[in-house]
Structure 1
Amino acid sequence: MINVIKRETMGRSERGWLHSQFHFSFAEYYNPDNIRFGALRVVNDDTFDPHGGFDTHPHEDMEIVSYVVDGRLTHRDSMGNGSTLGRGDAQYMSAGTGVRHSEFNNTDEPLRFLQIWILPDAKGYEPNYGDHRFAWEDRVGQWLAIASGRQGAAPIAIHQDMDVSVAMLDAGETLSYDLKPGRQAYLIQIEGEGEVNGTKLAERDAAEITDEAEATVRAKTPSHYILFDMAAE
């Protein structure tokens, strides 16, 4: 089954320099019927104006992945880590017993990134940070695994049975993703227009994919996708 979530129905927030679209309940947006999808708790499509950002703030017991869509994201944390990532790069922070960090756009151009929170498989992990700069061409015409559970092959390891993959397709191209029995997926049309299993997706729409053997995306225009493969509930 394909359940499309249109961007117009998602939560929204405008806070000066910060422009957000919430896939699930977050901050001032609360919908008791839309708290999470499986272990996927938060997906915020955030845009920072030039020189905007989050000052140092705490997190705990959450797996946090940030995927840069466009612009430059600068991270600093209480573990002594600091980095600046660009389009198509990803960072990971296992908040565990507690960590403090900041995120900023220190440039004169807008920054767009997906802020992703994944429920961990247990509480109390030692905090950890990592990032990876992926070659853009590695996702062109194919799925590129960017994060996965500890048994997965992705360069970013997370404390949860979930695989996170991205792909970029030219107009008219198709790409399939096999879903094993007992699995479900959450797909986001990050950029462009396309469809999944014949169901239309506009830019920034999402689709809950359940009871399907595979997810086949087709790009109507050049399209950028992210897919979360997880255990069904």
Structure 2
Amino acid sequence: MLKKLSKENMGASNLGWLESRFHFSFAEYRNPKNINFGALRVLNDDIIHPQGGFAKHPHKDMEIISYVVDGEITHKDSMGNEKTLKRGEVQYMSAGTGVMHSEYNLSKTEDLRLLQIWILPPQKNMQTLYGSHRYKENERQNRLLNIVSSLKGDAKVKIHQDIEIYVSETTQEIQYSIKKDKQIYFVQIEGESLINEQVSLSAGDAMEITDENLLHVKPLGKIHFLFIELKSEF
């Protein structure tokens, strides 16, 4: 089943320095019918304006992935990590027993756009992890790039939960065989696509894909997308 989620129907916030689109209930956007999709608890499409950012704040019992779409993000945390990442690069943090961190756009002129993805861990108080990976542009051109996996998976970025995250920038059709007992949350980051020859998505839209064996993405021009494959039951 394909369930299109139009960006116009998502939660939205504008704090001046931060513009957000909330795929699930978050902050002031409250929808009891839209809390999570399996282990996927939060997906925020954020634009942080120059010199803006999130001051130091705590997280616990959550696995957090930041995927940079445009601009640069600078991260600092209570474990002593500090890093600046650019388009297509990934930062992750499994805040098991608790972590303090901050995220800023230190540019004076350029906006930062990123997808913030929060995954519920398989259990509480798991080992705290932090890392990042500087994926290269050609790794995701006209093919799928597995950017995040479970600890048993093959991606350069690994978290505790049983998920896979893929991205692509492509002008070519992409096919992916959905694993048994898995479902997909698909995000159209840029451009327009036709999914499984049935439903079209525009930039900012999303889709829940359940009880399907195949994902077929047909670009309508150049596109940039991300999808998360996770257990159907959680």
Alignment RMSD (CA, Å): 0.7
After TM superposition, where is structure 1 displaced by more than 2 Å over at least 4 residues in a row? none
In structure 1, the residue matched to 2:136 is: 135
Q: Does the alignment pair 1:23 with 2:27? A: no
Moved more, 188-197 or 17-26: 188-197
Residue equivalent to 1:90 = 90
Q: Which residue of 2 aligns with 1:213?
A: 213
Distance 1:66 1:216 in 2: 25
Gaps of 5+ in 2: none
Q: Distance in 1 between matches of 2:178 and 2:214?
A: 5
Q: Partner of 1:65 in structure 2?
A: 65
1:177 shift after superposition: 1.0
Aligned to 1:145: 146
Aligned length: 231
For 1:35, the equivalent position in structure 2 comes to 35
> Structure 1 unaligned runs (5+)?
none
State whether structure 2 residue 191 is matched by structure 1 residue 192.
yes
Identity of aligned residues (%): 51
The amino acid that maps onto 2:173 is T
> 1:191 is aligned with what amino acid?
E
Q: Shift of the alpha carbon at 1:126?
A: 2.6
2:204 equivalent to 1:204: yes
Shift of 1:128: 1.7
Q: Distance in 2 between matches of 1:205 and 1:92?
A: 24
Rounded Cα–Cα distance in structure 1 between residues aligned with 2:78 and 2:187:
31
> Within 2, Cα distance between the matches of 1:203 and 1:97?
36
SS across alignment from 1:121: coil
Q: Hey, what's the Cα distance between the residues in 1 that align with 2:207 and 2:196?
A: 10
Q: Where in structure 2 are the equivalents of 1:153-172 lying within 5 Å?
A: 153-170=154-171
Q: Aligned with 1:8: secondary structure?
A: helix
Structure 1 partner of 2:124: 123
Equivalent residue number for residue 232 of structure 1? 232
Alignment of 1:111 with 2:112, yes or no, is yes
CA distance in 1, matches of 2:195, 2:151: 28
Which deviations, in whole Å up to 9, do the C-alpha atoms of 1:114-165 show, x marking residues without a partner?
Answer: 0000000111023221000001111111110111111100011111110001
Secondary structure of residue in 2 paired with 1:140: coil
Q: Distance in 1 between matches of 2:100 and 2:42?
A: 18
Q: Distance in 2 between matches of 1:32 and 1:197?
A: 29
Equivalent residue of 1:36, what SS? Answer: coil
1:196 is displaced (CA, Å) by 1.0
Q: Alignment partner of 1:130: what SS?
A: strand
Structure 2 residue aligned with 1:175: 174
Distance 1:84 1:195 in 2: 34
